[in-house]
């Protein structure tokens, strides 16, 4: 199946959970569509992969759970996360985000695009139709982006989960980055009081508790992983605020 499924925000978790491999394309406009050559190539190379699209505006208007999940996934796979959820392609395996990419041609694609522009210019001159240049560039951009993304996704799929998680931990190893990550995971600002941080931690723990997985082993693993991250985020914040106690729970009684 190469035709992506349209999603709304309420369907995101179910779509990811029900598919061992899944790609969600976050679009910013109705003309910003899933790369057709990429869809065809992924379907040929990964027959079980599920493809979907969702509007960025629909995500921004949804509840915080999907946004937090995607934002945390961006940070875990060392993707840009300073501006929140980004348009582009999100690859998941077993409920875990493996990689994100904007899906745009890079500097290394300039040569291929230049050749296509020349070919388009030649045919434009023959047919006296300048739109052929734009069409040639559009087709070339889709093709080179599809080749790069297919390679990137296949590399991510082939990487062992333990190795990927270790890489993600090293990528956010600096204290400032880890502290920012911790506040994002709990969904509070750095100015939050101890009580607000503690309440956010309890609320997030309740939302993601593995006991609510309903017997689904993939969902249980995803919730267990989120619970570990939530606990670690709380420890990071308390250790930062009370470095001499190194996480003593009485520090939250104030």
Residue after which a domain boundary falls, among 58, 87, 105: 105
Closest to 73 measured CA to CA, from 88, 63, 62: 88
For residues 48-68, give the mean pLDDT. 85
Answer whether residue 165 is part of any domain.
no
Residue 47 lies in a domain: yes
- pLDDT by residue (tens digit) across 167-195? 554 544 455 567 777 887 888 877 788 98
Domain CATH for 180: 1.10.287
User: SS3 for 182?
Assistant: helix
- 218 in any annotated domain: yes
Percentage with pLDDT > 90 across the chain: 15
The helix-helix angle for 217-241 and 194-208 (nearest 10°) equals: 170
Residue 155 belongs to a domain? no
pTM exceeds cut of 0.75: no
Domain that holds residue 23: 5-105
- 118 belongs to a structural domain: no
pLDDT digits (tens, 9 = 90+) for 154-163: 888 887 555 5
| 98 and 179, same domain (yes or no) | no
**pLDDT at position 201, please?**
92
Last residue within a domain, chosen from 105, 133, 157: 105
How many domains does the chain fold into? 2
pLDDT bucket at 105, cuts 50 / 70 / 90: low
User: Which of 33-47, 137-151, 169-183, 230-244 is predicted with the least confidence, judged by mean pLDDT?
Assistant: 169-183
Residue 156 lies in a domain: no
Give yes or no for residue 166 having a pLDDT over 80: no
């Amino acid at each position: 199946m190469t035709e992506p499924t349209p999603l709304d925000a309420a369907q995101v978790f179910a779509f990811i959970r029900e598919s061992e491999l899944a790609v969600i394309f976050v679009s910013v406009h109705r003309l910003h569509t899933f790369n057709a050559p990429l869809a065809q190539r992924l379907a040929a190379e990964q027959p079980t992969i599920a493809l979907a699209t969702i509007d960025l505006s629909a995500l921004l208007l949804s509840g915080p759970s999907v946004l937090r999940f995607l934002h945390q996934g961006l940070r875990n796979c060392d993707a840009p996360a300073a501006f929140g959820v980004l348009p582009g392609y999100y690859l998941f395996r077993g409920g875990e985000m493996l990689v994100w990419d904007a899906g745009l041609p890079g500097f290394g694609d300039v040569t291929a695009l230049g050749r296509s522009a020349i070919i388009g210019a030649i045919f434009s001159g023959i047919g006296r139709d300048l739109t052929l240049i734009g069409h040639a560039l559009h087709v070339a951009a889709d093709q080179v982006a599809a080749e790069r993304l297919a390679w990137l996704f296949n590399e991510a799929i082939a990487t062992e989960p333990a190795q990927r998680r270790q890489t993600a931990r090293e990528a956010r190893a600096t204290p400032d980055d880890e502290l920012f990550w911790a506040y994002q995971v709990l969904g509070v600002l750095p100015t939050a009081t101890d009580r607000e941080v503690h309440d956010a931690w309890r609320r997030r723990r309740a939302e993601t508790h593995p006991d609510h997985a309903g017997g689904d082993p993939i969902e249980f693993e995803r919730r267990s992983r989120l619970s570990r991250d939530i606990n670690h985020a709380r420890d990071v914040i308390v250790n930062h605020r009370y470095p001499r106690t190194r996480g003593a729970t009485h520090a939250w009684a104030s």
